[in-house]
Chain A
């Protein structure tokens, strides 16, 4: 347990110690603000974060791969994976330690968007329920994306390849629920369509952002997260030297 904490702490420190993480953070905050203002935040005539949250799935689909690409690829590239995984720690503890560090950093990024909430409070009388569930949903969804990106990071020495593969999968899981995509896929049987839509983070997150917390949405995200973390552990165990 203490070994897992040390991995967690080291990883978190390295986020704050590298300028690149701040650059990504700035890009994330900048984009979230830009898309919000462009998306009629002030013109919608209601004090809600609907516009803000509607951009989060797409933003996270880029941000999470950026955050997680280095987690294991870098260990592979420099060979430190051999040192780390010959210390008294199990592979799953190492995977979790790194994942939680990335997730916490993502949580901090989300907290840094709170000025948007203060703006709302200043402008009107927002309903806090949907805001809270929206943030909760965003945090859980971020965890799933990070777990997916962690998985691809365990596969390769190259951060770029890890990033691209994660982006494709995160983006794909986003797109299959998009109304435009579902229209194109209209020729498919109804049941396939519904399955695709339910696999999408857009669909799952949409519910939470509207202020509803349903067990199945939370379960979906938690299952995704746990599933990809287990897959990462298995992959590392299996091809450590690759």
Chain B
């Protein structure tokens, strides 16, 4: 469903993404791992057609990110880092606005009902977003991405800054959806990979350093993902 082909993005003198390629199939939850500044968010921004790559390309759900950005955006649900929302709107009017943007028309009502239940935001439905706790804001951010029931979900650090219970909720939600979708989730929390991902890619300094199932990666690191992660991202000899 997702094919990434040699993406490159340069910011000034810094090569944030340096030739990343990978594929993700339906039913997979791909963990996108790496230290801060590794190029995770930049890659995701290119996949969602927010940033234009300097070279390389990617196809999501059959649409090319350079030739058909609007087509790509129709097919994906995206939660950017920190899940930014329009603070002055109520949850209800925000979700309605997102339905309008997605052209859901008469299906909007049932879509909203569905995501409100999925994300358990029923009791803040009429509140102004600015007054919500971080956990609820994040859930509204996720709800927004599920509205049109996309086949591809791209989630940039969806559990960052949440408390352990909220993290668990978000992970459960992702696991529930995993079977019939293609999900890419970025994180630097390694336990999360074990909890939700069926495959993981480790990147650092803009390059893919490792690609495999969590179990494979662990065995390479001598039993823990932590050890392997440190080994290859700090430029150790193992990789």
- Are A82 and B101 in touch, CB under 8 angstroms? no
- Are A241 and B50 in touch, CB under 8 angstroms? yes
- Specify which of A14, A83, A240 is in contact with B51 (CB 8 Å cutoff): A240
Closest to B82 in A: A79
Instruction: Find chain B residues with CB under 8 A from A10 CB.
Output: 86, 89, 97
Instruction: Find chain A residues with CB under 8 A from B50 CB.
Output: 82, 85-86, 240-241
- Are B88 and A18 in touch, CB under 8 angstroms? yes
Q: Chain B contact residues: over half helix, strand or loop, or mixed?
A: loop
- Are A79 and B80 in touch, CB under 8 angstroms? yes
B116-158 residues with Cβ-Cβ distance < 8 A to A are: 144
Q: Mark B46-62, 1 if CB is under 8 A from A, else 0.
A: 00111110000000000
Q: Interface residue tally of chain B, by bracket?
A: 20 to 34
How many angstroms from the CA of A2 to the CA of B48 in the assembled complex? 20
Instruction: Find chain A residues with CB under 8 A from B81 CB.
Output: 79
A55 interface residue (CB < 8 Å to B):
no
Please give the distance in Å from A10's CB to the nearest CB on chain B: 5
B114 interface residue (CB < 8 Å to A):
no
Q: Mark A1-45, 1 if CB is under 8 A from B, else 0.
A: 011011101100010011000000000000000000000000000
- Are A90 and B45 in touch, CB under 8 angstroms? no
A70-113 residues with Cβ-Cβ distance < 8 A to B are: 78-80, 82-83, 85-90
- Are B48 and A86 in touch, CB under 8 angstroms? yes
B232 interface residue (CB < 8 Å to A):
no
B87 interface residue (CB < 8 Å to A):
yes
B70 interface residue (CB < 8 Å to A):
yes
Most chain A C-beta atoms within 10 Å of own C-beta, residue among B51, B81, B100: B100
Instruction: Find chain A residues with CB under 8 A from B100 CB.
Output: 2-3, 5-6, 9
- Are B80 and A88 in touch, CB under 8 angstroms? no
Most chain A C-beta atoms within 10 Å of own C-beta, residue among B49, B69, B74, B87: B69
Please give the distance in Å from A73's CB to the nearest CB on chain B: 14
Most chain B C-beta atoms within 10 Å of own C-beta, residue among A5, A10, A17, A86: A86
How many angstroms from the CA of A241 to the CA of B73 in the assembled complex? 17
**20 sample A-B contacts, Cβ–Cβ < 8 Å, listed by A number:** A2-B100, A10-B86, A18-B88, A78-B84, A78-B86, A78-B87, A79-B82, A79-B84, A82-B80, A82-B84, A83-B85, A86-B48, A86-B50, A86-B73, A86-B80, A88-B70, A88-B102, A88-B103, A240-B51, A241-B51
Q: Footprint of A on B, CB under 8 Å?
A: 45, 48-52, 69-70, 73-74, 76, 78, 80-82, 84-89, 97-98, 100-103, 144
